[in-house]
Amino acid sequence: MSIALSFSLAALLAVIHIWAYKWTFFHNAPKNIWLSFGGGISVSYVFLDILPELHEGQHVLENANILSFLEDHVFLLSLSGLIFFYGLEKLAIKSQSEHEREDYYPHVFWIHLLSFAIYNMMLGYILHHREEQSYQKIFFFILAIAAHFIVNDFGFQKKFRNLYVSKGRWILALSILCGWMAGALTKISQSSFVILLAFISGGIILNVLKEELPEEKESRFRAFLLGATLNSIALLST
């Protein structure tokens, strides 16, 4: 994959953050249908692409003698990523519960935004270092992350509408591009890439469970099943 194409894909993900709040077709149908459909796409991608890739990455870490005293440590790294992003989420929730006054509300927003900005920078970095993968692999990666971003953006809008539209969407868009730029300027080993992918996969799994599988009263199982089925068929056929 050329640098121009790689940057274009990073820019596409950034544009999703910038313009998603204006996409009226999400407001003309129950948003939970799109949440569930997007959740199905992302969940299937995690289980059929990321986890198998981490399993292969386990051998890379073993050959590099990294954390060799632990078995299946690539999945421990993934768990560490999930715990890290969950910790930031709980920090924001605790802050919100302890400070119910309205002037503390932006404080909660910035904690949430910080975790997603870190998350986006890692994804942008990973995107640049996927240039050796096939175009089909890249397509499904972008599809899953785009669906992931759209769902997360609507979660932000629901909780922090004004702050997100005025500031948050721009910061998240910029963080993707900054991550991509860091990837373009640095070269990492294959084992380092596996470590980064394992860590960020924990964040993806957390957000899939937290944002993309809504509460039972808000979810649409058939939409979720359709998204998961269609994406699974496409992934397995490549």
Nearest CA-CA partner of 152 in 115, 196, 183, 124:
115
pLDDT of residue 222: 84
- Encoding tokens for residue 21? 């709040």
* Neighbour-count burial for 134-160, b at 16+ CB within 10 Å, e otherwise: eeebbebbbbbbbbbbbbbbbbbbeeb
Q: What is the 3-state secondary structure (H, E, C) of 117-144?
A: HHHHHHHHHHHHCCCCCCHHHHHHHHHH
Question: In the prediction, which pLDDT does 175 show?
Answer: 95
Residue 40, both tokens: 């199905």
pLDDT tens track, the chain, 238 positions: 678 888 999 999 999 989 877 765 555 555 567 777 887 888 888 888 888 888 888 888 777 776 665 566 788 888 998 898 888 777 766 655 555 544 445 777 888 888 889 889 988 998 887 766 678 888 888 888 888 888 778 778 777 878 888 889 999 999 999 999 998 898 888 888 888 888 888 888 887 777 656 555 556 788 888 988 998 998 888 7
pLDDT score recorded for residue 67: 62
Q: Given this model, what pLDDT does residue 103 score?
A: 44
Q: Classify residue 124 by burial, with Cβ atoms within 10 Å: 0-12, 13-18, 19+.
A: buried
Q: Are 111 and 88 in contact (CB under 8 A)?
A: yes
Per-domain boundaries in the chain: 35-236
pTM value is 0.80
d(CA 67, CA 82): 19
Residue with tokens 């998240």: 172
